[in-house]
A and B are shown apart, each in its own frame.
Chain A
């Protein structure tokens, strides 16, 4: 899948998975931090995103701490998906 399309799809999935209210895909910048400032997600969200990566892309991240290195922003997530997806 082409990278821009992947990022667009990923943003929609993040919004749906985390039930982000009144947030549209175009509101999320590719380099906007997911945690802390930016989107302001927390530790439970990081676990939820790991599940998203597993269900949608067949990626298995066992340790949530490892996961946080991948879940920096949409760019890093897209990089990881492109490198590791099995679906």
Chain B
């Protein structure tokens, strides 16, 4: 498919200018909020208007835009929701009277991609994919197609979602979050419904050039399915189509999130691997959100580059000391599933 370069990640952990995944931040209540950088590259005049999703998106993208990408492709399920509800609250509070438009303009999910385009005067392809748990995967697919159509081009590709007060409230009412306090990997030991809320912004420069790449996206598969056995079958087919019969991926990134209603999917998929494959879980550091697969892709590239995998990520003790490829499985709400196969470049 293509190569990842120049990856930037704003997340609840120290992942932006310096990366430290040994000492991890733990949830505050049931939320893992991002560690936001100082956003030095964003002029104050523009920063003042931005809601968190837009500033995280722009913040992670800015340096990459200096590579003059040929287009911008973003996946976000709820980008701009905070501004959306702020505007909605104005509508109600002022009974549809005179309202300030900034919140409305910033509330559209394409505000992130368009702001990045605006600030970098980028007139190329610009698209925002909003298909909930597969928003980032569709952004990946769009990018892969663009790079086949335009072999020498490069694209800014990203996945971003925020915990806005309002989004969080809606999901809280849906019963998405843990009631008990979570401090880290105890997330996976709870056997109760719910998970912890997360947010993040991950931006990549994607092209067909292996030199200096952080990782390579080998394959991607998306599924809509409620049956965990069907998902596991598809995973086995995916593995067979990319590995010789005697081989398996070095690492399996499981998107398990501690929600016991969804554990059956992850358990079924884990069965596809033998003891040779290290099993990693990561949502105790990222939290759960619709475009968390972007964080997973970042983490995969980071692990492949540094060849370091801190212990708290490992679901089972493992002695593997060299990683050539990582298979990521994630699902959102038990309906939207994806497999990503990422290898060292």
Partner-B contacts on A (CB < 8 A):
17-22, 40, 44, 47-48, 50-51, 54-55, 60
Closest chain-B Cβ to A22's Cβ sits at a distance in Å of: 6
Provide 28 A-B residue pairs closer than 8 Å at the C-beta atoms, listed in order of the A residue: A17-B100, A18-B48, A19-B48, A19-B49, A20-B44, A20-B48, A21-B44, A21-B47, A21-B48, A22-B44, A40-B45, A44-B49, A44-B101, A44-B102, A44-B105, A47-B100, A47-B101, A48-B100, A48-B101, A48-B102, A50-B98, A51-B98, A51-B99, A51-B100, A54-B97, A54-B98, A55-B98, A60-B98
Interface residues of B in 222-265 (CB under 8 A from A): none
Q: Which residues of A contact B102 (CB under 8 A)?
A: 44, 48
| Cα(A55)–Cα(B98), bound, Å | 8
Q: Which residues of A contact B100 (CB under 8 A)?
A: 17, 47-48, 51
Which residue in chain B gives the minimum CB-CB distance to A54?
B98
Complex A-B, nearest 10 residue pairs according to Cβ-Cβ distance, in ascending order:
A19-B48, A21-B44, A54-B98, A48-B100, A51-B100, A51-B98, A21-B48, A47-B101, A44-B101, A44-B102
Partner-A contacts on B (CB < 8 A):
44-45, 47-49, 97-102, 105
| Cα(A23)–Cα(B49), bound, Å | 14
Q: Which residues of A contact B44 (CB under 8 A)?
A: 20-22
Q: Which residues of B contact A17 (CB under 8 A)?
A: 100
A44-B101, A44-B105, A51-B99 are known contacts; what are 18 more A-B pairs with Cβ within 8 Å?
Answer: A17-B100, A18-B48, A19-B48, A19-B49, A20-B44, A20-B48, A21-B44, A21-B47, A21-B48, A40-B45, A44-B49, A47-B100, A48-B100, A48-B101, A50-B98, A51-B100, A54-B97, A55-B98
Closest chain-B Cβ to A55's Cβ sits at a distance in Å of: 7
Q: Which residues of B contact A44 (CB under 8 A)?
A: 49, 101-102, 105
Q: Which residues of A contact B98 (CB under 8 A)?
A: 50-51, 54-55, 60
| Cα(A44)–Cα(B19), bound, Å | 38
| Cα(A50)–Cα(B101), bound, Å | 11
Q: Which residues of B contact A54 (CB under 8 A)?
A: 97-98
| Cα(A18)–Cα(B48), bound, Å | 8
Q: Which residues of B contact A40 (CB under 8 A)?
A: 45
Closest chain-A Cβ to B194's Cβ sits at a distance in Å of: 35
| Cα(A50)–Cα(B44), bound, Å | 22
Q: Which residues of B contact A18 (CB under 8 A)?
A: 48
Which residue in chain A gives the minimum CB-CB distance to B97?
A54
Q: Which residues of B contact A21 (CB under 8 A)?
A: 44, 47-48
Q: Which residues of A contact B101 (CB under 8 A)?
A: 44, 47-48
Closest chain-A Cβ to B96's Cβ sits at a distance in Å of: 13
Closest chain-B Cβ to A46's Cβ sits at a distance in Å of: 10
